[in-house]
Amino acid sequence: MREVIVQVVTEERTARQAYDLICDFRRYPELTDKVNEVVVHPPEADGSLRSDWSVIFRNGLMRWSELDRFVPETLTVEFEQIKGDFEVFRGSWACEEREGEGGGSVTVVTFRSDFDLGIPSLAEILDPVAESTLRDNILRILEGLMGRVAPMAPLNLTAARHG
């Protein structure tokens, strides 16, 4: 299982604004040429929804359907593939306000995912490519949503998870 963590900081959006923008999956194809299509289905009674994704991956397309759970109280979104090209694909988005270096407020957005392509014999070759592609796509989406973002090294998250 591969883990991808992308963490950025922006001064251009509040955490609530960032969360609202992230929840608007329909806009993602406008923000990067790597997201081919996102179809968002009507919400379920519990507020979750299903979304169908088509993303350019190398010379082809990766397709999957995921179940998305929105938690506005904590400004988080959790997702998990329910069918598709990955063996496993799940993760979350989180937005939080932090104090910036100059004393003002900044927003930190964290994307975290675990994935397994389900091809053990090619994992050494394909997994790093998939990880890099996913990381690049997430950064492009965040730049499109937030405007100017500065990538952060998510060392504190990795250390906390493994420590």
- Tens digit of pLDDT for each residue in 46-58? 989 999 999 887 7
Question: Maximum CA pair distance of the chain?
Answer: 50
Write down the pLDDT at residue 122: 67
pLDDT above 90 (res 85): no
Identity of the highest mean pLDDT range in 49-53, 112-116, 136-140:
49-53
Write down the pLDDT at residue 25: 93
Q: What is the pTM of this model?
A: 0.86
Write down the pLDDT at residue 15: 97
